[in-house]
Amino acid sequence: MLEFQKLCKEVENLNSVQRAVLMQEKAHAVYDGLNNLNLHGMLPFEILAMFIIGSLVSDGSISEKNYLYIYPALLKTFGGKCNLEEIKRRYIVAKDIRKEIKNYTQEMITIISKCDENLTSDIIMLCLLVTSVEGRISLKERRYIKQLCNAQ
């Protein structure tokens, strides 16, 4: 637990350029790792988007600013396949956001249980980077990501 708290603080202390660069690197690494898992019936793009959007909504809210922060990482990872409007439409359509968060969390825990330690670390770091785009990681976001840490 102490290591997780320390990691959260380190991520919160990154400046916006450091965060953006690291987010792009981790998004690319996670995408490649998920692609290598060959999860039947699930596309790596959708899984990665699920982790990112799940992280953003874990505190129960999401803003246009959040999307704009993560868009460069998504664009670098997916190139022309990345459509911000499509991501919003596909993953934030439910009226009951808490139910969606629970569904995302369960799916992600299942996926993480199939990952090796390096991919799990990259996923956790990416989630932390995404949740810290405004300079801090809320308690709800920490709890959500901690669930993912305990999945493996």
Contacts of 88 (CB under 8 A, 6+ apart): 67
Contacts of 57 (CB under 8 A, 6+ apart): 92, 97, 100, 101, 104
Higher pLDDT, 81 or 128: 128
pLDDT tens-place string over residues 86-116: 666 655 544 455 566 667 677 778 888 888 9
Higher pLDDT, 70 or 98: 70
* pTM tops 0.85: no
Contact between 82 and 67 (Cβ < 8 Å): no
Q: How confident is the model at residue 143 (pLDDT cuts 50, 70, 90)?
A: confident
Contact between 112 and 148 (Cβ < 8 Å): yes
Quote the CA–CA distance of 137 and 127 in Å, as a whole number. 10
Q: Where are the alpha helices (DSSP H) in 13-96?
A: 16-37, 44-57, 64-78, 84-91
pLDDT of 144 = 82
